[in-house]
Chain A
């Protein structure tokens, strides 16, 4: 199966001379279609930078990045915006829902930017909310929803444009254990449905639920392993 994410010798360097910071250094990584993958590592390890590059939010300083077969490493902002809109769904730790919009309108937002007609937007947004179990919360504003519900709205927004890749940055970081479980169940279901899921997490318990863990340290991939049960605090402090 062709990899959805294919990083070739990617480096990301900030600043120059003495103040140069190598956030990523010569990383090669492939993630296949349908993978369910966690990215772990201590703060400053480069995992956030890697997320930004993978999510087409940022361009690498060097290297090639084939996303869905297309070299996206040096595309301009607006082309990257279109790729994010059509092929990538984002879920953030802080949900990032627009407070003035209802759940339905929040979920429909990506389709506004891809030019989907209003009636279809409405229908697809309700379907997506149904899929995350919020069929009865369509008209609620974010501040009328619990944290777990807000994150489910955010997930619905991420999947509404039927992306290839679901990219989650600490999706359970602001949730308690029970809601974490609910949200992780939704991610697992979506992955079973065929969507590639990549998530950055600090929590071994969360990472253990994925199929593959990629460890970052000092801007490089330390190791990847396919057996999630290896994930432990021991590995984290290694």
Chain B
């Protein structure tokens, strides 16, 4: 059996947050959030290989995932995700890419093997 952790601690703007791997319900919620936040055009944005749409998809993925897995973050933020300034967003994206995604993707690699 793998020693992959089912939860990690990530640090966002100096605050610690514990993130657990999603349950089935949470996973479904994340995926439906993606559709809602992208205005129902997630698939089209994904197939369009422009830099802009990929960046927007990243924003959608980040918000969909963090809203479900770190609900305290939404409460701690001074504004809504959509109102974040670009510089502030980039700080959050850095956490998403460097701290969160490597761990999250490892789980999916494991699930895909089965």
Chains A and B bind each other: no
**B residues engaging A (CB < 8 A)?**
none
Chain A positions within 8 Å of B, measured between CB atoms, are: none
